[in-house]
Chain A
Amino acid sequence: MAQIEWEALSVFVFFFALVTVMGFLAARWKSAGVREHLDEWGLGGRQFGTWITWFLIGGDFYTAYTVIAVPALVYAVGAYGFFALPYTIIVYPFVFAIMPMLWKVAHKNGYVTAADVVHGTYSSRALELAVALTGMVATMPYIALQLIGMGVVIKAMGLSGDWPIIAAFIILALYTYSSGLRAPALIAFVKDTMIYIVVLVAVIVVPYKLGGYGAVFSAANDAFVAKGGQTGIILKPGQLLPFATLALGSALAAFMYPHTLTGVFASKSADTIRKNAILLPAYTLLLGLIALMGYMAHAAKLNLSSPNDAVPMLFQTLFPSWFAGFAFAAIAIGALVPAAVMSIGAANLFTRNVWKSYVNPGITHAGEASVAKVTSLVVKVGALAFILFLPVQFALDLQLLGGLWILQTFPALVFLLFTRWFRAEGLLLGWAVGIGWGSWTAWSNGMKPLASLTLGGESYTFFVGLGALILNIAVAAVATLIVRMVLPKGTATARS
């Protein structure tokens, strides 16, 4: 693949240049000419309606890494990799029920981050910091993975070395700095339209060339049987519980991340979020079809050096060079949108819950905006350094742990919408135990996200994040009971 694919590369560069110009012009899009304010830079002015939110959340939840990694997993392990489909379906009833309530709390009090909501409710600096740090730490490797996704398609066009990624990321960092959340919101229109075109063409043309979906599934089945039948195109008995718990745990974790919450808080109204819960599943159909490309790679008899090459190789083998370039541009631009929103989400957390809480409590709105802008640059440089200097596997492992960590902020963030019974001390202890037990279990299983439990002679294997969450809630409840006995009045203030 050392040969540079000039035709594909030209198409790629054209679209990349287009979104770069859009990224810089976005600063003036829907701008009311308001003074410097974190609501403007970090939440796009809290004014995004149904369609902008649909493109923004769709563009930042279904990331470039998803387009590479989900088919790669399906290529390697079959039906088990498909847990992404139930995960991204059941997440929406949850979003519909919970996120409008959270939006209302944030809107009423001018909160920008999850940690703002937690601090505003429990008046606990420690719990605020725990939620903020978890968000930042879980986001960093996620940004690094977007770079890996971008790197895979750049390599497929025959470019070698790190400079293309460094250049792309500097451009991204600059327009995020100047335009804030407006840049990814505007670019998401281009990105999502391109991805829809690419996937719809691929799911029609590829099976047509390979003899239909029946042939695609049977080729995949043959490949798994030939590999020894450990996995297949339906789940093996031992995979049922891991499949279901991964789907549920991932669904509960998905909207605890700073980048997804940023999309929620940036919307205009609670109703915007409700309508999006109805409309966003369209992206899930797309994701399911993308996942099937893992099987198409088997049917096309591709010779892959790594499962991550399944999608790029499929396009290079079955399509003209210009269309492959278009598809690669869609994937690379697909990395820019989430990377921008993630760095903004992490920057908002740092500004509001570390800088404002510990360094400069009297900071002005303009001061918040400039701290966040600089932080977004630092976050991106950090993510870049991450993949330039550390093994790729390290980013993958950390992202996996990140999912388990962010899930442990669920009780602190979601329970307050229903009850004020829990105390900050209890929630903090539950968080610590969940993170500690979950990380240790994943670590001792060789970084597999699964834990095993033997009950009555039967062994059950399940997603470690969900187990840690249950432990977290149990510890939080017991600790709250004890704290309420010792300190009946408590220091907690009423929900404002």
Chain B
Amino acid sequence: MWVLLLIPFIGLLWVPFYNFTEPSLFGFPFFYWYQFAWVPITSFLIWLVYRSRTPDETE
């Protein structure tokens, strides 16, 4: 599951993936809404990893 944490790095650091203006969404060029979209996606991926891990013994 921990490998999920690497996905945002790939999605955001490989810039040729998203350095375009089209397709735009609500007036936002692709470059912008793609990056904004990664915010909730990243939270969700971290949450998935959080759910799957065994809790600390002493907390």
Q: Which residues of A contact B (CB under 8 A)?
A: 79, 82, 85-86, 89-90, 92-93, 96-97, 207, 212-217, 233-235, 240, 243-244, 247-248, 269-271, 274-275, 277-279, 281-282, 284-285, 288, 292
Which residues of B are in contact with A by a Cβ distance under 8 Å? 2, 5-6, 8-9, 12-16, 19-21, 24, 26-29, 31-32, 35-36, 38-40, 42-43, 45-47, 49-50, 55-56, 59
Question: Are A234 and B39 in contact, with the CB atoms below 8 A?
Answer: no
> Which among A93, A217, A234, A270 is the interface contact of B46 at CB below 8 angstroms?
A93
How many pairs of residues, A versus B, come closer than 8 Å at their CB atoms? 101
Closest to B14 in A: A244
In whole angstroms, what is the CA distance A269 to B43 when docked? 20
- What is the minimal beta-carbon distance from B32 to any residue of chain A, in angstroms? 8
- Selected from A90, A212, A243, A292, the residue in CB contact (under 8 A) with B15 is A243
- CB neighbours (8 Å) of A207 from chain B are 27
**CB atoms of A85 and B50 under 8 A apart:** no
Nearest residue, chain A, Cβ from B12: A86
**In whole Å, how far is B21's beta carbon from the nearest beta carbon of chain A?**
6
Majority SS at the chain B contact face: helix
Report the Cα distance A274→B56, complex, angstroms: 12
Residues of chain A with a CB closer than 8 A to B32's CB: 82, 217, 288, 292
A213 near B13: Cβ-Cβ < 8 Å: no
Q: Give the contacting residue for B50; candidates A82, A96, A216, A288; CB below 8 A.
A: A96
A288 touches B36 (CB 8 A): yes
> 26 interchain pairs (CB within 8 A)?
A82-B35, A89-B39, A90-B8, A90-B9, A92-B46, A93-B9, A93-B42, A93-B45, A97-B2, A97-B5, A214-B24, A215-B27, A217-B27, A217-B28, A217-B29, A234-B20, A240-B19, A244-B13, A244-B15, A247-B13, A270-B59, A275-B50, A281-B43, A282-B39, A285-B39, A288-B32
Given contacts A89-B39, A89-B42, A285-B36, contact A235 B15 (CB under 8 A): yes
Chain B residues contacting A86 (CB-CB under 8 Å) are 12-13, 35, 38
Chain A residue nearest to B21 (CB atoms) is: A234
Contact between B5 and A93, CB atoms less than 8 A apart: yes
Out of B2, B13, B27, name the residue touching A216 (CB < 8 Å). B27
| A284 / chain B contacts, CB cutoff of 8 Å | 39
Query: B43 near A233 (CB under 8 angstroms)?
Result: no
State A285–B43 Cα separation when bound (angstroms): 11
In angstroms, how far is the closest chain A Cβ from the Cβ of B2?
7
Which residue on chain A has the smallest CB distance to residue B24?
Answer: A214
| CB-nearest residue of chain B to A215 | B27
**B6 lies within 8 A of A93 (CB):** yes
Contact A278 B15 (CB under 8 A): no
A489 to B57, CA, bound (A): 34
Residue of B nearest to A217 (CB): B29
Contact, CB under 8 Å: B21 / A233:
yes
Tell me if B42 and A92 are in contact (CB < 8 A).
yes
A89-B8, A235-B15, A274-B50 known; A79+B31 contact, CB < 8 A: yes
Which A residues lie within 8 Å of B24 (CB)? 214
Distance, CA A82 to CA B36, complexed state (A): 11
Knowing A233-B29, A234-B21, A285-B39, say if A93 contacts B47 (CB, 8 Å). no
A15 to B50, CA, bound (A): 38
